[in-house]
């Protein structure tokens, strides 16, 4: 599986040709794999058993390394022929295998559920545990479709979501650098980004005052000792004087 993931090609059209929906069921026309972080199980975004309940935020991969991703905060029941675990990018992953002509899901109909949306918000934006296969625009799309698929107005005004994303999205090569500062044009927004937790005082703040006045004092002290202060705010200057 690691060898397959090393040559991944984003090719939704290839995957679309290998999946068929008939009579409300979804079938795999050839062997396919669904991959997602094992952490989903810990936070209620997946349950593993004879069948698998899974939030539709995963990738489907074929044997040639073509993949397509979904980014909908909806829970669906899948019926894989096998469930395997492996590590990728030093994090545990789950692989669901579907054999040729096997049923992937018996029911393509989903109930609108706000709870899954808020679980995704907490896990991926507040805590910064964003799956490696999602980019900045993929996260936005989860919430733009919130009313249609979750019956929630959370995505009607994307300003709060955009503000959070602007804080946690970081440059792939330097997590102290905001992702938006590395963009030169609209197309650059499709580049890969790293994501940090909102409570990450090590990479999230660039001055000692911000690090030391939050709710994570011990982490803030450590960060202030390790990281050189990049700027002195007016309030910090006044206190120092």
- pLDDT band (50, 70, 90) for residue 212: very low
Q: With 50 as the cut, is the pLDDT of residue 187 above it?
A: yes
The per-residue pLDDT of the chain, averaged, comes to: 82
Convert the pLDDT of each residue in 55-114 to its tens digit: 999 999 999 999 999 999 999 999 999 999 999 989 999 999 999 999 999 988 777 788
Question: Is the same domain home to 24 and 77?
Answer: yes
Alpha helices in 65-178 (DSSP H): 114-120, 136-144, 146-150, 159-168
Domain membership of residue 234 as a residue range = 203-241
Question: Is the same domain home to 33 and 88?
Answer: yes
**Among 72, 87, 105, residue at a domain's last position:** 105
Number of domains in the chain: 3
Question: Is the same domain home to 132 and 163?
Answer: yes
Question: Is the same domain home to 137 and 188?
Answer: yes
Convert the pLDDT of each residue in 22-52 to its tens digit: 988 999 999 999 999 999 999 999 999 889 9
**Among 105, 130, 145, residue at a domain's last position:** 105
Q: Confirm if 147 and 136 have CB atoms less than 8 A apart.
A: no
Tokens encoding 65: 């390394």
Give whole-number Cα distances, 111 to 80, 117, 121, 165, 167, in Å. 21, 12, 19, 27, 32
Question: Is the same domain home to 49 and 68?
Answer: yes
How far apart are alpha carbons 41 and 91 in whole angstroms? 13
Question: Is the same domain home to 6 and 98?
Answer: yes
pLDDT above 90 as % of the chain? 43
């Amino acid at each position: 599986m690691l060898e397959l993931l090393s040559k991944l090609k984003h090719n939704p059209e290839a995957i679309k040709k290998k999946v068929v929906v008939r009579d409300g069921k979804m079938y795999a026309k050839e062997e396919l794999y669904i991959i997602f972080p094992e952490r989903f199980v810990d936070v209620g975004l997946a349950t593993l058993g004879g069948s698998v309940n899974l939030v539709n935020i995963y990738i489907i991969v074929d044997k040639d390394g073509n993949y397509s991703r979904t980014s909908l905060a909806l829970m669906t029941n899948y019926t894989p022929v096998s469930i395997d675990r492996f590590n990728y990018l030093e994090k545990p992953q789950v692989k669901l295998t579907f054999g040729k002509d096997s049923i992937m899901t018996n029911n393509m109909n989903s109930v609108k559920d706000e709870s899954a949306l808020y679980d995704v918000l907490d896990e991926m934006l507040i805590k910064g545990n964003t799956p490696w296969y999602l980019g900045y625009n993929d996260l936005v799309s989860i919430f733009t479709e919130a009313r249609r698929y979750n019956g929630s107005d959370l995505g009607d005004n994307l300003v709060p979501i955009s503000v959070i994303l602007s804080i946690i999205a970081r440059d792939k090569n330097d997590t102290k650098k905001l992702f938006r500062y590395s963009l030169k044009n609209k197309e650059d927004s499709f580049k890969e980004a790293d994501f940090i937790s909102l409570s990450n005082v090590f990479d999230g703040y660039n001055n000692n005052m911000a690090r030391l006045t939050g709710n994570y004092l011990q982490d803030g002290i450590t960060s202030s000792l390790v990281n050189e202060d990049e700027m002195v705010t007016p309030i910090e200057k006044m206190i120092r004087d």
